[in-house]
Amino acid sequence: MRLNSLITASLALALLSHGHLSQAATSHIARRGATHKAAAPVAKRRIAKQQDTAATTTKRVAGRKARVRDNASPTKTARVSATSHSRKGKNARAAAPMVQRASTRGSKRSRKGASQDLLVAAGASDVAASTVTKATTVNPKLQTVEQEASTPVILPTLYNKRGRLIVPPPLRGSHEILVRQNLVADRDGLDRIQDDADLARMREARLLVPIPVSGTLDVDERLPVNRRYTRPWTAQFLVTLSRAHYARFHTTLQVNSAVRTVEFQQRLQRTNGNAAPAEGETASPHLTGQAVDLAKHGLSMTEIAWLRGYLLPLSQQGRLDVEEEFQQACFHISVYKKYLPATPKREIATGQHGGTTALAAGLR
């Protein structure tokens, strides 16, 4: 009897504990279901937001590609077309020359538009680096002296293939250069200017002309007004050089010194030990009015390298001599009459039937 009571009590306790466990499990499942039900809207909103972001990104990429296509130049389109067609065999080889000619014409137009300011400032019709520039026409005609002299002879290349600045060595002076400057002055029949009265006489006779001050060339304000003069060919050289320099750097050059008198040079010798003598085979070329000093102060190393590259070929051609001074920081330049081209000789018609022949000979 007692055994049965114990078994019955055990069974009852087991059933009771099982009921509690079942109830706890049921309540846990119910809580988890409620949690998932509450989290479902949040998950839906997150998924919708991700979908909206992806759609916006797709639209932006498509718009950017459309803008790139709209902004693409005809030259680039032609090049892409040439590239795609070149992979298709014989048809591509037949179409490639036409595409290449179109791209070449486009690139020439772009280069011509980009360098228009340089061409206008330099007074040339077409300019290439490190090449002699001369205007050519279908029927070439003789240029005036001013037109030919105003065309820059050399436009130096500043950078090598690696993009590094090419700096030519300094154009240092020497005793031989100073002697040659005086020999050339004597050969050209240039007189040394003695005093201010002599200077005024040469200005009135137009043997000396004012320094061509402009937006590309300036004069040191300390230079006296009556000595802001030079020989005509030196003035033409300054116009050509300053225009080419301004077209490249958009800065002006400055003339520190030009014509001097013997009287002034003698006073200068007493205060400046670097000054050339006023007489003899090494007399200062400033006394003839053909020399000028261009200031180096304020010029960048790139500008100095450009000036050296511009002046060196002219010196090698015998059209001028350069002495780069460092104590006074200037380019001392003696421009020779040879800088201007010789005026062509024309025949004079001397008969009834000789006019056409003389005119043809003059135009050749």
Grade residue 257 by pLDDT with cuts at 50, 70 and 90. very high
Question: What backbone phi and psi angles, to 5 degrees, belong to 110?
Answer: -65, -40
- Give 340's DSSP letter: S
Q: Out of 99-103, 104-108, 132-136, 319-323, which region has the weakest mean confidence (pLDDT)?
A: 132-136
Element (H, E) at 257: strand 253-257
Q: Which residue has the higher pLDDT, 233 or 109?
A: 233
Q: What is the mean pLDDT of residues 90-112?
A: 49
When the candidates are 3.30.1380.10, 1.10.510.10, 3.40.350.10, 3.40.50.720, the CATH number that belongs to 145-339 is 3.30.1380.10
**Helices of type H across the chain:** 2-71, 74-85, 90-114, 116-122, 145-149, 175-187, 196-204, 232-249, 262-271, 301-316, 355-363
| Closest by Cα among 225, 235, 222 to 291 | 235
pLDDT over threshold 90, residue 167 = no
CA distance 298 to 329: 10
Q: What is the mean pLDDT of residues 296-318?
A: 93
Q: In the prediction, which pLDDT does 168 show?
A: 86
Grade residue 147 by pLDDT with cuts at 50, 70 and 90. low
Average pLDDT score over the chain: 74
Q: Which residue has the higher pLDDT, 154 or 296?
A: 296
CA distance 150 to 272: 35
3-state secondary structure of 270: helix
pLDDT over threshold 90, residue 124 = no
pLDDT over threshold 70, residue 178 = yes
Grade residue 235 by pLDDT with cuts at 50, 70 and 90. very high
Q: Out of 79-88, 231-240, 245-254, which region has the weakest mean confidence (pLDDT)?
A: 79-88
Q: Which residue has the tokens 């490190």?
A: 130
- Give yes or no for a contact between 309 and 168, defined as CB atoms under 8 angstroms apart: yes
Q: Out of 104-108, 144-148, 246-250, 356-360, which region has the weakest mean confidence (pLDDT)?
A: 356-360
pLDDT over threshold 60, residue 39 = yes
**Which residues, listed in sequence order, are joined to residue 58 by a DSSP beta bridge?**
none
Q: In the prediction, which pLDDT does 52 show?
A: 80
Q: In the prediction, which pLDDT does 185 show?
A: 92
**Identity of the highest mean pLDDT range in 26-40, 67-81, 319-333:** 319-333
Q: In the prediction, which pLDDT does 68 show?
A: 59
- Bridge-based pairing state of the strands 291-295 and 330-335: antiparallel
pLDDT over threshold 80, residue 29 = no
Grade residue 22 by pLDDT with cuts at 50, 70 and 90. low
| Closest by Cα among 142, 109, 171 to 305 | 171
pLDDT over threshold 70, residue 216 = yes
Q: 71-84, pLDDT tens digit by residue? A: 554 444 444 444 45
Q: In the prediction, which pLDDT does 145 show?
A: 46
How many angstroms from the chain centroid is the CA of residue 34? 75
Q: In the prediction, which pLDDT does 54 show?
A: 79
Q: In the prediction, which pLDDT does 127 show?
A: 37
Which two three-digit tokens encode residue 5?
Answer: 């009571």
pLDDT over threshold 80, residue 123 = no
Q: What is the mean pLDDT of residues 20-24?
A: 62
Which amino acid is residue 293, in one-letter code?
D
Grade residue 60 by pLDDT with cuts at 50, 70 and 90. confident
Grade residue 165 by pLDDT with cuts at 50, 70 and 90. confident
- Give 210's DSSP letter: E
Which two three-digit tokens encode residue 14?
Answer: 């087991």
Q: Out of 15-29, 57-71, 296-310, which region has the weakest mean confidence (pLDDT)?
A: 15-29
Grade residue 281 by pLDDT with cuts at 50, 70 and 90. confident
pLDDT over threshold 70, residue 256 = yes
- Give yes or no for a contact between 217 and 252, defined as CB atoms under 8 angstroms apart: yes
Q: What is the mean pLDDT of residues 22-38?
A: 68
